[in-house]
Amino acid sequence: MTAATALSVRGDGGGGRAVPRHVAIIMDGNGRWAKARFLPRIAGHRQGAEAVRRTVRAAGEIGIEVLTLYAFSSENWRRPVEEVSDLMGLLRHFLKAEVAELVANGARLRVIGDLARLDADVRALIDEAIARTASGTRLTLVLALNYGAQDELVRAARALAEEARAGTLVPEAIDVEEIEARLDTAGLPPVDLLIRTSGEVRLSNFLLWQAAYAELMFVDTLWPDFDAAALAEAVTRFGARERRFGGL
């Protein structure tokens, strides 16, 4: 079942309910998925990569403009060396093998986070994938790599401070727009819907600024089991919520 079909089955296709412009997902539960099947953790990550493929395709079908996936946090370096190596291997595979499908689906790739710590060959693959998908207009896929929201805000604050010290920016001119222009997500719409899988209920240092008015949704589904129907269900639930943005 495609995402569009799933929405139609629920009576939401064309029903006037809002589709979120920007959906962000904390992809959690790969390890528990593998453990429940007596498999090594890398098996869960591999199945998680399949869920990424399904979700990207479904997002485009639903009409989501931006899909941001928390692929590797700045804290993930604390994991065992073998697991980090496996994750980087999967990232390399994705950047090599999935670009053609992104192009076919009209998706363009963007990457946020501090990329300096990534290996040079990974950075080169990222640059190549971004260039090859630059003409995509159907969906913007944002991968958060070595990303942490607090680090992002620190980097933005440092950039503002440097400009102030250089005399190109006066402190009185610093406002919401000036800060947003220096975030990794500059130019993207704010997050409308933030989903975390696996039943955990926390944001884990993900898009803290951008999700200021996001609808939060915590689902029990483990990430490797997430699919088009699960995304459609989340969008349906989003459409049923009343968003006030601090007003009445």
Where is the binding site, in residues? Answer: 28-33, 41, 45, 73-75, 77, 79, 196, 202-204, 215
Task: Give the chain's end-to-end CA distance (angstroms, integer).
Answer: 38
Which of 28, 184, 192, 227 is catalytic? The answer is 28
CA distances from 122 to 18, 54, 73, 136 (A): 37, 23, 16, 22
Q: Which amino acid is at 149?
A: A
Give the Cα separation of 197 and 66 in Å (integer): 18
Which of 76, 114, 205, 225 is catalytic? The answer is 76
> Is 28 an active-site residue?
yes
Indicate if the alpha-carbon torsion angle 66, 77, 201, 221 is positive or negative: positive
Which residue from 60, 79, 13, 113 is spatially nearest to 228, judged by alpha carbons?
60
Where in the sequence numbering do the catalytic residues fall? Answer: 28, 76
